[in-house]
């Protein structure tokens, strides 16, 4: 049993899926869904990530419409004041959300690139806290891939199978107490992937070969495994505070350059 960081192989929960392999698009969508879950459950965003994204798009659309109306439409002074007040309100909402949405979009791009580059990402870590080395919460997703993904392309559109996997994983996280802590103010979400050391995506990821976090933190660790897959051991030691086994020597941690900073509590576009 490995020691370090309060984590051990025995504390890794296996989630089995009914598939012969975990496709790259499934991994991408799962990571993004868990990322959104962590942000929402720890009150870093005012609603689920999909709703925040839709609200941001709606605000941008409304702002453009208001600019057209104010520029081209003759109206009474009182009506113009109302429209101008709404425009300021909408603009404030956009400013509140735009940095968050830009960071989320950059993270999506980075993940798509890494999953497009290689089919064998072994693990992903989501760290909520002041820095990756000083986390408040750590979530580890370890992948036992099953049959090799031999496809050349990668379509990241979410499928029913991907939705089912995300629901199962998030239910497991909730059953283990994820998000049960009280709100402790805005924080930062960091993302790291365990991938072959040959990975080169300097615009999006930096190698963190010696990555470690505070040993007092007990991570929430899930192993995603195909139901009919033979037992594998190489993904069990995925934690950064564990010693890699012989089959993982060519894998190191890469930290995503894009950091998602949470919003103040109860922030809404209308405030």
What does 106-145 look like in DSSP terms, one character per residue? HHHHHHHHHHHH-S---EEEEEEEEETTEEEEEEEEEEE-
Is residue 266 in some structural domain? no
Of the two residues 21 and 107, the one the predictor is more confident about is: 107
pLDDT (tens digit per residue) in 66-119 = 999 888 878 888 998 999 999 999 999 999 999 999 999 999 999 999 999 887
Distance from CA of residue 125 to its chain's centroid? Answer: 9
Mean pLDDT of the chain: 84
Residue 45 lies in a domain: yes
Least trusted range by pLDDT, from 103-112, 139-148, 204-213: 139-148
Instruction: Give rounded-to-5 percent helix, strand, coil for the chain.
Output: 40, 20, 40
Domain count of the chain? 1
The answer to whether residue 270 is domain-embedded is no
Tokens, residue 263:
């919003």
Rounded distance between C-alpha atoms, residue 46 and residue 67, angstroms: 27
Question: What is the rounded average pLDDT of the residues 220-235?
Answer: 71
Q: Half-sphere exposure of 35 toward its Cβ, with a 13 Å CA cutoff?
A: 28
Residue 3 lies in a domain: no
Domain membership flag for residue 269: no
Residue 2 is assigned to a structural domain of this protein? no
> Is 173 contained in some domain?
yes
Strands 134-144 and 220-226 turn out to be: parallel
In a domain, 100, yes or no: yes
**pTM listed for this prediction:** 0.84
More confident residue, 182 or 243: 182
Rounded-to-integer distance, Cα 83 and Cα 64, Å: 12
- What is the domain extent for residue 212? 9-261
Q: What is the CATH number of the domain that holds 126?
A: 3.30.900.20
């Amino acid at each position: 049993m490995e020691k370090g960081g309060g984590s051990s192989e025995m504390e890794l929960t296996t989630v089995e899926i009914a598939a012969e392999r975990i496709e790259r698009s499934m991994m991408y969508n799962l990571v993004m869904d868990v990322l959104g879950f962590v942000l929402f459950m720890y009150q870093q965003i005012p609603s689920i990530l999909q709703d925040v994204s839709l609200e941001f798009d709606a605000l941008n659309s409304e702002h453009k419409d208001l600019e057209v109306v104010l520029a081209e439409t003759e109206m009474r002074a009182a009506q113009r004041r109302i429209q101008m007040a709404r425009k300021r309100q909408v603009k404030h909402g956009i400013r509140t959300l735009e940095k968050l949405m830009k960071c989320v979009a950059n993270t999506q791009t980075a993940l798509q690139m890494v999953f497009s580059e290689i089919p064998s990402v072994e693990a992903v870590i989501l760290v909520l806290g002041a820095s990756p080395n000083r986390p408040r919460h750590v979530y580890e997703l370890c992948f036992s891939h099953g049959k090799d993904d031999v496809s050349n392309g990668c379509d990241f559109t979410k499928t029913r199978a991907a939705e089912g996997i995300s629901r199962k994983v998030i239910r497991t996280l909730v059953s283990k107490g994820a998000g049960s802590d009280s709100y402790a103010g805005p924080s930062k979400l960091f993302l790291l992937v365990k991938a072959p050391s040959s990975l080169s995506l300097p615009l999006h990821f930096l190698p963190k070969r010696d990555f470690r976090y505070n040993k007092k933190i007990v991570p929430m660790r899930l192993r995603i495994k195909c139901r009919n897959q033979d037992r594998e051991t190489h993904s069990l030691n995925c934690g950064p505070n564990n010693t890699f086994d012989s089959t993982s020597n060519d894998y190191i941690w890469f930290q995503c350059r894009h950091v998602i900073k949470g919003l103040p509590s109860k922030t809404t576009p209308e405030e």
